[in-house]
Structure 1
Amino acid sequence: MESISDNAVSKAIQILSALRSHADGASARELAPSTGFARSTVQRILATLAASGMVIQDAATQRYLIGPQALVIGLGYNGGDVLVNEARPYMFALRDESGETVGLSVAIGHARVFLEEVQSNAEIRFASEMGRLYPLWSGANGRVLMGGLSDTEIDRVLADHEHDETLHESLSPDQVRERIVDMRAKGFAQASNETIANVSSVAVGVRDGSGQIVAALSVSGPAERFTPQRMDEIVPQLKSAASAISARLGAGRGTT
């Protein structure tokens, strides 16, 4: 949007609305017919929206997806940042109980992003890159979010799976599937030295009123300190916090 004219804003809104109907993303060529705009116009507006985080472009496919900034704005519109506001008190309490960093992440297309984080007070601690997009199939948070998908949707995510050099360890599609099965059986997921070197995380799902997993609540810390045993010890508190947040969102207590 080269200016903030009503016409430019209207076009951007129409493009975002059209993009929402494409779960796997869309190109400017694909969006042009449904919006009625020239392909060049759609491409120009998408480029501006991408610069502000309203949309993201997949490096491999060049297709655009709704971005983290649009998601945050959407959450605000739909309920006054309900998810973050309801989760925050429990995140602070969980941080104080665990001594580690607590995060809240959501899926955006075939990626995930942290919406909120309460950092550990320890001198050495984990801190995520807020707004950074991680592959949905990576890490404990990703497995929790994928665990709420149908098998068909999981296949779609893994169809886009490719080695990511920014990750410490890239799992194969079969490994991801195995760990999703394990997560569903246990009700939580763990990861160590996976997405980020020397970082361990344990995560559970947060559900909305329909019972769907809408976010992953996680506790993360340096792997040397946040050991598998320590992660197991914090699981009951983590599940309790996720249940409380889910109940605040309308889900039955005890669903995690």
Structure 2
Amino acid sequence: MEETRRVRGGARKAGASPAATGSRPRATASAKSKTPPLRGMARAFAVLEQLAQNPGRVVDVTRGLDLPWATVHRTVIQLEKAGFLKRDDRTSQYQIGPRLWHIGSSYLANHRVLKAAMPYLAQIQESEGIVVQITERIGDLTVAIYSAQRLAEDITKAHYGYHFPLHAGSKGQVLLAYEDPDFIDAYLRRDLERLTSETITDPAVLRAELAKIRRAGMALTVADVQPFTASMAAPIRDGAGKVVASLCFIFRKVLLRNEKRREELQDQLMHMAHSISIDLGWRPDQG
């Protein structure tokens, strides 16, 4: 799971150009030649994605997107006026605003997988010691669209909305394992971020692990996201047999010492994922 990074830096008055302090970023010729310039709505979407992952100042966005400060500043101001961004007057940092949250919340309110899963999620919430999540892939990330904990002590970074790279954690590995082969090949060519000493960052090892997941129909990972946690996940399929989400149980890795409890959780996970999939129209004979 990829921990959200927050860009840190000194506050600057709204509208103040970083050129005044000598910190204005300059785009390199090589960077410009590799990707076409962002314009119009594409630029606005890129700014929103950047600030959703890393709330920050205008200058932070210019560095992240390699765009001129004036261009980014103009886009940010327009998005702020529309309510899509919100500015912290104390730090001059921008983050996602209430209007965008309002629009995005309708996505979950009408989410087919969540609607099908709710009866089963209500049952599993009675199980102590685990975090239950429904996750899906957004770009190269796995994002929790549902998360519930019944723990004596909270597990950090296991809440609704957290996003992590697909190769870290069982939930992301399941989603990656059932992706199109071309997507997997492209993902394995990228630099694989290491979250802990147990995170798989070798493409060949990860490819073998994905094949293992497809054979087993589930994934189990230990300490590859946080040193003290483990998780297991299984795919959720739609009526066409396509994997559209993953069901994930997160728990403290000490639980794995109890073999009986581990097997109970695994059986519960598989049964629940299959039940949700069947309610979405999937049939076991589809594979």
Name the TM-score, length of structure 1 as normaliser. Answer: 0.69
| Higher mean C-alpha deviation, range 196-205 or range 87-96 | 87-96
| 1:184 lines up with 2:209 in the alignment | no
How many percent of aligned residue pairs carry the same amino acid?
Answer: 22
Shift of 1:79: 7.8
Aligned twin of 1:29: 36
Larger Rg: 2
Aligned counterparts, 1:155-234, within 5 A: 155-164=185-194, 166-171=195-200, 172-227=202-257, 229=259, 230-234=261-265
Question: Does the CA contact (< 8 Å) of 1:207 and 1:255 recur in 2?
Answer: no
Match of 2:226, SS? coil
C-alpha offsets along residues 224-244 of structure 1, whole Å, 9 cap, x if unaligned?
Answer: 124472333322211111111
Shift of 1:131: 2.1
Aligned counterparts, 1:35-46, within 5 A: 37=40, 42-43=42-43, 46=46
C-alpha offsets along residues 57-116 of structure 1, whole Å, 9 cap, x if unaligned?
Answer: xxx9959xxxx9989967945981222232233123223246411111111111111110
| 1:251 lines up with 2:258 in the alignment | no
Unpaired runs of 5+ in structure 1?
A: 1-26, 54-59
Question: Does the CA contact (< 8 Å) of 1:220 and 1:226 recur in 2?
Answer: no
Distance (whole Å) between structure 2 residues aligned to residue 238 and residue 200 of structure 1: 14
| 1:126 lines up with 2:158 in the alignment | no
| 1:87 lines up with 2:117 in the alignment | yes
Shift of 1:52: 4.8
Distance (whole Å) between structure 1 residues aligned to residue 286 and residue 258 of structure 2: 24
| Higher mean C-alpha deviation, range 148-157 or range 194-203 | 148-157
Shift of 1:158: 1.3
| Root-mean-square deviation (Å) | 3.8
Distance (whole Å) between structure 1 residues aligned to residue 116 and residue 134 of structure 2: 11
Unpaired runs of 5+ in structure 2?
A: 1-33, 54-62, 67-95
Question: Does the CA contact (< 8 Å) of 1:246 and 1:255 recur in 2?
Answer: no
Shift of 1:254: 7.3
Question: Does the CA contact (< 8 Å) of 1:75 and 1:81 recur in 2?
Answer: no
Aligned twin of 1:7: none
AA in 2 matched with 1:106 = E
Aligned counterparts, 1:41-56, within 5 A: 42-43=42-43, 46-48=46-48, 50-52=50-52
Aligned residues: 215
AA in 1 matched with 2:152 = E
| Higher mean C-alpha deviation, range 80-89 or range 153-162 | 80-89
Aligned counterparts, 1:52-131, within 5 A: 52=52, 76=106, 80-97=110-127, 99-120=129-150, 122-127=151-156, 128-131=158-161
AA in 2 matched with 1:195 = V
| Higher mean C-alpha deviation, range 220-229 or range 198-207 | 220-229
Match of 2:126, SS? helix
Query: Do the aligned partners of residues 136 and 61 (structure 1) sit closer, same or farther apart at CA in structure 2, a change above 3 Å counting?
Result: farther
Shift of 1:134: 0.7
